[in-house]
Chains A and B, each alone.
Chain A
Amino acid sequence: MKTILYINNIKFKHIVAFLTIVFLSCGQIEYQINDIETEIIKISEHTAKNKELEDLIRPYKNELTRLEKKIGYSNESLSIRDGKLESTLGNLIADILLEESNKLFIEKYSINIDFCLLNQGGVRGNLYKGDITQHNLLTIMPFENTSTVVRLNGKKVLELLQYLNVENKAHPTSGIKIEFGEEKINKVLIQNKKFDINKSYYVLTSNFLQEGGDKMIFFKDPLELYSLNTNIREVLVKYISRKKNIESKLDNRIIRKK
Chain B
Amino acid sequence: MKRRYFLEKITSSTIFGLSIPFLSFDNINFHSKKITILHTNDVHSHIDPFPPNDPLNPNGGGVIARAKIINKFRKENPNTLMFDAGDIFQGTPYFNFFGGEIELKLMSKLGYNASTLGNHEFDNGIKKLSESLKYANFSFINSNYNLKNTPLENKVKKYEIYNIDEIKVGVFGLGIALNGLVEKNLYNGLEYLDPIEITNDITYELKKDHKCDIVICLSHLGFKYDQRKEEMCDLILAKKTKNIDLIIGGHTHTFMKKPVEVTNLVGEKVLINQVGCFGINIGKIDFYLSNENMSRKTDSIKV
Report whether B97 and A142 are in contact in the complex, using a CB–CB cutoff of 8 Å: no
On whether A125 and B91 interact (CB within 8 A), knowing A4-B7, A21-B28, A42-B280, the answer reads yes
Interface presence of A63 (CB below 8 A)? yes
Interface presence of A110 (CB below 8 A)? no
Shortest CB distance B5–A (Å): 10
Interface presence of B293 (CB below 8 A)? yes
Contacting residue for B65 out of A4, A26, A44, CB 8 A:
A44
Report whether B14 and A14 are in contact in the complex, using a CB–CB cutoff of 8 Å: yes
Interface presence of B161 (CB below 8 A)? no
Contacts between the two chains (Cβ within 8 Å), count: 241
Q: Which residues of B contact A1 (CB under 8 A)?
A: 257-258
Report whether B286 and A36 are in contact in the complex, using a CB–CB cutoff of 8 Å: yes
Interface presence of A32 (CB below 8 A)? yes
Within 8 A of A (CB), among B190-223: 211, 213-214
Q: Which stretch of A95-103, A212-220, A221-229 is in the interface?
A: A212-220
Contacting residue for A139 out of B17, B93, B279, B293, CB 8 A:
B93
Report the separation of the CA atoms of residues A142 and B75 in the bound assembly, to the nearest whole angstrom: 37
Report the separation of the CA atoms of residues A24 and B170 in the bound assembly, to the nearest whole angstrom: 29
Q: Which residues of B contact A61 (CB under 8 A)?
A: 48
Shortest Cβ distance from A52 into B: residue: B109
Q: Which residues of B contact A79 (CB under 8 A)?
A: 55-56
Interface presence of B60 (CB below 8 A)? yes
Interface presence of B267 (CB below 8 A)? no
Interface presence of A67 (CB below 8 A)? yes
Shortest Cβ distance from A10 into B: residue: B14
Shortest CB distance B110–A (Å): 8
Given A7-B7, A44-B60, A63-B97, 4 extra CB contacts under 8 A: A5-B302, A10-B14, A34-B294, A44-B59
The 8 closest A-B pairs by CB, nearest first: A32-B295, A46-B59, A46-B49, A35-B288, A31-B289, A37-B286, A3-B258, A48-B68
29 cross-chain CB contacts under 8 A: A1-B258, A3-B259, A10-B32, A11-B10, A17-B292, A17-B294, A21-B22, A21-B25, A21-B30, A30-B213, A30-B293, A32-B213, A33-B288, A37-B286, A38-B258, A38-B273, A40-B256, A40-B257, A40-B282, A43-B281, A44-B60, A46-B65, A53-B109, A60-B102, A77-B54, A142-B45, A142-B96, A168-B227, A214-B180
